[in-house]
Every structure is written in C-alpha cells, then in structure tokens.
Amino acid sequence: MNAFKYRRATKKFDPDRIISKTDFDTILEAAQLTPTSNGLEPFNLLVLQSPGLRAKLVAEAGGGPQWVDASHVIVITTKQGSELRKGSAFLRHMKLDVQGFAEKDFPKWEKNFQGFLKDKLGITDDVLLGEWAKRQAYIVLGNMMTAAALIGIDSCALEGFNYAEATYVLTEAGVLNPDTDAIAVAVAFGFRYEEPSRARTRRPLDEIVKYA
C-alpha cells in the first residue's frame, strides 16, 4: 500500500537521474510476466532512448516534457487485428514456438479462438480485434507502473499526443511497422523533480465498490 500511495502521475522528471539497468530490467520483466488473454502477448515494448527521436515526437506529435526529461520512455504497441486472425504467422509463432503446442493441435485451437472472439466477445472485424489487443496493453501498463513504484521509481502514463503523427515519426525512424503493429499507449519512467504540490484525491470506497 505504501507503493500505491507513493505513486503519482509525474509531470516533471529530473533529467539528471537515470534508472539503473537492474531496476529497469525489473520493470521490463513485470511486463513480460503480465497475463494476457489466451496467453497471446499481443504487445511489444518500444524503448525510446534516442534523445533526437524523443524530441521529434514532442515537436511533431505534441508530446509533453516527460518524453524528453524522463529516464526511460516506453511506447507499448499491440498487434493489428489482421495479425490475430486465422492463418496469421503471429498466432502460429505464439502457440507453436512460444507455448509449445503440437502442430496437430493448432488447427482446433485456432478455430476455437476465432469462435471465442466472435461468439463471446462480439468481435467481428479487424478494427475491433485491434482495439481488443490494445486493452491487453493496459494490463501491461499497470503492472509496469506498479513494479516501478515498488522499487521507488516514478512513472506517468502518456496518452496526450497525436497518435497518427507519432505513428508516422516512428515508422519513418524504422522502429514501427504500422501494417502489423499499432501504438496503444506510452509510459515514462524516472524520478520526480519535486514533490507533488497537490494532495491526492480519490472517491471513497463505499462510492466505487458495489456488492451484488
């Protein structure tokens, strides 16, 4: 609870303080161990350490100062819907190479998975499927931010930028293929420059929790 109470959305990072490799690897491993639907891990972590690329994202995509001042910035990308459809190389890789499925069992799983998407979740097109993948990214985001807080590292989730322009910048830089992957959300990690000036506010538990 101390870590949750310590964590705040850090708007201004100390640019002179850098996260150690050991601590940053802990944050990355928290992402790696995050649960995802069907264990598909439909996400990747794009760690932006180039000062020039970060500055360009601020200039062209309207990112805030965290993009430049934070020790580390991660763009979480997720698979486009077409990468999660029957016949995709990504699904075969995940089930056969990563999870160790037998080749003979894959067709049945693939059929059941497509049925799950349509019949249980109502996902009928690639746009909705891509949005479903992005929801997985927010589980990753939360786990990384919590892991960071547990070891005294500050963070800030980043959505306030132009996604289309950021996609263009990262594609032009050769680090994103928009045909297969899309930006879901970004997050900055580092150390706060100063203590928050405002007290934290939250709705009381008896207002947000309902029992049925």
Q: What CA–CA distance (Å, rounded) separates 57 from 49?
A: 12
Q: Which of 5-9, 35-39, 55-59, 103-107 has the lowest mean pLDDT?
A: 5-9
Domain spans, the chain: 2-81+130-208
pLDDT of res. 60: 95
Q: What is the pLDDT of residues 103-135, one digit of tens each?
A: 999 999 999 999 999 999 999 999 999 999 999
pLDDT of res. 73: 98
Average pLDDT over residues 11-33: 97
Question: How many helices (H) does the chain have, and how many strands (E)?
Answer: 9, 4
- pLDDT bracket for residue 74 (50, 70, 90): very high
Q: Does residue 196 surpass a pLDDT of 90? A: no
pLDDT of res. 197: 81
- Prediction pTM value: 0.94
pLDDT of res. 168: 97
Q: What is the dihedral of CA 95, 78, 168, 69, to 10 degrees?
A: -120
The CATH number corresponding to 2-81+130-208 among 3.40.50.2000, 3.20.20.70, 3.40.109.10, 1.10.10.10 equals 3.40.109.10
Q: Does residue 52 surpass a pLDDT of 90? A: yes
Burial 158-184 (b: 16+ CB within 10 A, else e): beebeeebbbebbeeeeebeeeebbbb
- pLDDT bracket for residue 199 (50, 70, 90): confident
